[in-house]
Amino acid sequence: MFFSTQLERLVQAFGAEISYRFFTDDILARPLGQRSYLCLYQLFKRVFESSELDAMSRWISPGSTVIDIGANVGFMSVFFSEKVGPQGLVLAIEPDPVNLKLLEHNLARNGCDNVRVLPVAVGEDDGETTLYRNLANRADSRLVFDREALTRSKKIDVAMRTLSSLVAAAGELPEVSLVKVDSQGYEVPILRGMKDWIASLVKKPALALECWSYGLRASGHSLDDLFVLLSEYGFEVPSELCDRLHLKTGMGDYESVVFVPAQRR
């Protein structure tokens, strides 16, 4: 496990240099650049994150809806599309305009006709916000600036919506079986913004989160803030999980967790 984690970090560091030097916005606007970047990115994800896909797939029902918050270039959106099938739906939510083009290209080449792309950030309120695009790691753009992590970044203005308002605007949806959130430590405002929607559900979805103490602190929150919200919303938060996650305090220490409401156990 330790060796695997160290190898992943080495690959990420090498990939950051490649991304910054070779996969510029201009290169990623071209078909060859898009194909090359997606190929390398998906190879990394399949090698190092296959266990996360297995953990989420357990809770995805054919014909249901999966909401992908922080869809990035669509690696997981494509996976979710296959899992829900032609009668299901995926809402792929991504605010970065460069990632959006890669996401749409990825969905088109994989024939994902059951994916709806929403080009916004998700948070606690409706309005506008600033997105800090990480030019060295396009999967690490954030809504809160981190001087230590975002040494090569560019800020842009993007629209922000709560998940409650997005779901209301989407119209009638198949039952939502899973919500995946990858927001680099911005999970607490996102959860607050889904309160009305969650409260309205008879059957709650599973909730897949990256639990990252460092990122939560950078956003002005904590693991405890996250766990309190999850408990209030009816999700199980085992004490042994809390204890383990509290030990992960460094910049590179995070764990992907699927939280499940008691009614779905």
Could you give the percent of the chain with pLDDT greater than 70? 89
User: What domain range is 216 assigned to?
Assistant: 2-264
Percent of the chain that is helix, strand, coil (3-state, to 5): 45, 20, 35
pLDDT at residue 151 is higher than 80: no
Q: What does the alpha-carbon distance between residue 211 and residue 256 come to, in Å, rounded to a whole number?
A: 6
Q: For residue 101, is pLDDT > 80?
A: yes
Residue for token digits 């054919």?
Answer: 62
What CATH number is associated with residue 118?
3.40.50.150
Q: Name the band, by pLDDT with cuts 50, 70 and 90, for residue 144.
A: confident
d(CA 29, CA 256): 31
Which tokens in the block code for residue 131? 């997105």
Buried b (16+ CB within 10 A) or exposed e, 179-188: bbbbbbbbbb
Tens of pLDDT, residue by residue over 77-95, are: 999 999 999 999 999 999 9
Nearest Cα residue to 71 out of 174, 197, 208? 208
Least confident of 34-43, 177-186, 188-197, 219-228: 34-43
Model pTM score: 0.87
Per-residue pLDDT, averaged over 242-250, amounts to 87
Residue 140's pLDDT is 79
Alpha helices in 66-109 (DSSP H): 75-84, 97-109
What is the SS3 assignment for 118?
strand
- At residue 5, the pLDDT reads 55
The Cα 206–Cα 58 span in angstroms is 10
Q: How far is CA 213 from CA 124, 151, 234, in A?
A: 19, 20, 22
Amino acid 253 reads: D
pLDDT at 15 over 70: no
| Residue from 121, 167, 127 nearest 144 by CA | 121
**DSSP element (H, E) containing 33:** helix 31-48
Number of domains in the chain: 1
Token pair belonging to 253: 């220490």
With bands split at pLDDT 50, 70 and 90, how would you rate the model's confidence at 205? Answer: very high
